[in-house]
Structure 1
């Protein structure tokens, strides 16, 4: 479910410390029934497991196929256009306590790269010729005593071209991509998260105040 941007900015997330030059583009919440305060690492692992075994709906597959094809034809996704090329990684800005946490992140095959991971928040990033995007995930208490996942997309456009690109894809994000993502992520908790929440999550790292 789409929620106000203030739902992200009002939280004391560590990501605020070094993303002042990014804008908050989208904020969405995802239900996680029966989730507890310590289940954020379980949720992250569930999301990555679901990504590696997913089958996207046909409209989503079509949109991403078109996007990757355009990127290949126009050079949007080359190494020179991405992290360490056109834009430096957000990891270059991290204080030492956060930089150490990426070692505990669970690997995933999606296009994003891990930046840091704490007990209640994590950040991942993607850079190309259009934008530098941060996907921030946070674990937030709900009014009924449970917890939910919140995702904030933080964006730094690559000039006018990047702004036009983000404006062009906005209807597709809201009408196709995010609804499908909501179904997939909420299902990931039910299939891969909730059943395994007491199976042992391994060591978790807390770095600094949250």
Structure 2
């Protein structure tokens, strides 16, 4: 479920300093929970999910329309992998082509093993409770931050925050245009997908011989 952006004030995350000039687009409490040592399994799940290919038809149609518009108006394909995208447009308002330079030096090589090949993101860092990756296209520069939030009693819950910097008036208009579709179709489908996938992974982990 979507939660108030104010929830970010209750925790001190490394990402806060890295994206100090970005806007908080969304904060989502994920339908994923577990113990203190389960964050690695969360990262594995997010790396391997087959979304939107396995999503309901309306989501796949929206994804296809976005890629079609990208080809028509030179916005690029939303699903293009980071490796195939070539040189990224810089962070708006800066000359930076990656936020990696903002990451504390001791964390810069911590996400190199994350399995994000073929996806439109580039990893930034990984800790026991945080993971961040970045994405750049013709409409915005964004960061997806995953956190493993302590709920007390030894239980943790996943949290996903999306940070963005739109690219000028076109970027702002595009973000405003797609917002209702994201809230009504994309994110609900993603949450249901994550809930099912996490439940299946937990059952597999408990199976004999797993």
TM-score (ref. length: structure 1): 0.84
Is the alpha carbon distance of 1:66 and 1:180 closer, same or farther for their aligned partners in structure 2, counting shifts above 3 Å?
same
Deviations 1:130-189 (A, max 9, x none): 000101000012256522110001010111111111110110010000100101112221
1:45 to partner: Cα distance: 0.4
Residue segments in structure 2 that go unaligned for 5+ positions in a row: 77-84
RMSD value, Cα: 2.6
The alignment partner of 1:141 has SS state of: strand
Q: 1:122 aligns to what?
A: 131
Q: In the aligned structure 2, how far is the partner of 1:47 from the partner of 1:197?
A: 20
Is the alpha carbon distance of 1:80 and 1:42 closer, same or farther for their aligned partners in structure 2, counting shifts above 3 Å?
closer
Is the alpha carbon distance of 1:49 and 1:197 closer, same or farther for their aligned partners in structure 2, counting shifts above 3 Å?
farther
1:57 to partner: Cα distance: 0.6
TM-score (ref. length: structure 2): 0.84
Q: 1:30 aligns to what?
A: 30
Is the alpha carbon distance of 1:194 and 1:28 closer, same or farther for their aligned partners in structure 2, counting shifts above 3 Å?
farther
User: Which of the two has greater helix per residue?
Assistant: 1
Q: 2:71 aligns to what?
A: 72
- Aligned residue pairs: how many? 198
Shifted more, 45-54 versus 65-74: the winner is 45-54
Greater RCO, 1 or 2 (C-alpha within 8 Å, sep 6+): 1
Q: 2:171 aligns to what?
A: 162
Q: 1:133 aligns to what?
A: 142
Q: 1:14 aligns to what?
A: 14
